[in-house]
């Protein structure tokens, strides 16, 4: 095979490879931009949201209207952890005891969220 044919084939292979790579990268960049836009819209400040979460009651502090819960991951808000949440109404404390596995509803605009409902989880 002549040298000019080898050079032509190598250049053609490089051009096709670079072109394909550029197109693939462009699609990935567009997908990433869409995902970032959705994530920003979901966590926009001032937008009230609601989450239904499972957890375990660790402490009840009715005098300051707080329930301390160990909870699972709250998508779009926070990872799994133990923390205190304000209760929307003082009577919410009466439905559960320390150590109960529960399902609860959080509502609000992060970081100002409150427990609006809580119930014991089925065993």
- DSSP labels for 30-63? HHHHHHHHHHHHHT-TT--EEEEEEEEEEEEETT
Q: Note the pLDDT tens digit of each residue in 8-46.
A: 888 888 888 888 888 888 888 888 888 888 777 666 667
Residue 6 — pLDDT band, cuts 50, 70, 90?
confident
CA–CA dist 101, 121 (Å, integer): 5
Q: Specify the pLDDT at position 45.
A: 65
Domain total in the chain: 2
Other beta carbons within 10 angstroms of residue 48's beta carbon come to 10
Paired sense of beta strands 81-87 and 49-61, if any: unpaired
Q: Are residues 30 and 62 in the same domain?
A: no
Rounded Cα gap, residues 22 and 28, in angstroms? 10
Q: Is residue 37 located within the same domain as residue 59?
A: no
Which pLDDT tens digit goes with each residue over 33-87?
A: 888 887 776 666 677 889 999 999 999 999 999 999 999 999 878 999 999 999 9
Cross-strand bridge partners of residue 101: 56
The pLDDT assigned to 43 comes to 62
Q: Which residues pair with 104 in a beta bridge?
A: 53, 118
Does one domain contain both 28 and 76?
no
pLDDT for res 114:
95
pLDDT at residue 80, rounded to an integer? 95
Same domain for 54 and 32:
no
The domain of 1 spans 1-42
């Amino acid at each position: 095979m002549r040298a000019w044919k080898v050079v032509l084939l190598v250049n053609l292979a490089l051009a096709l490879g670079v072109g394909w790579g550029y197109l693939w990268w462009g699609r990935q960049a567009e997908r990433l931009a869409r995902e970032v836009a959705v994530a920003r819209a979901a966590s926009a400040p001032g937008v009230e949201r609601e989450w239904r979460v499972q957890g375990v009651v660790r402490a009840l502090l009715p005098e300051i209207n707080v329930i301390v819960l160990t909870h699972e991951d709250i998508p779009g808000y926070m990872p799994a952890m133990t923390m205190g949440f304000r209760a929307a109404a003082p009577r919410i404390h009466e439905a559960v005891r320390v150590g109960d596995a529960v399902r609860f509803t959080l509502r609000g605009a992060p970081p100002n969220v409150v427990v609006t409902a809580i119930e014991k989880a089925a065993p």
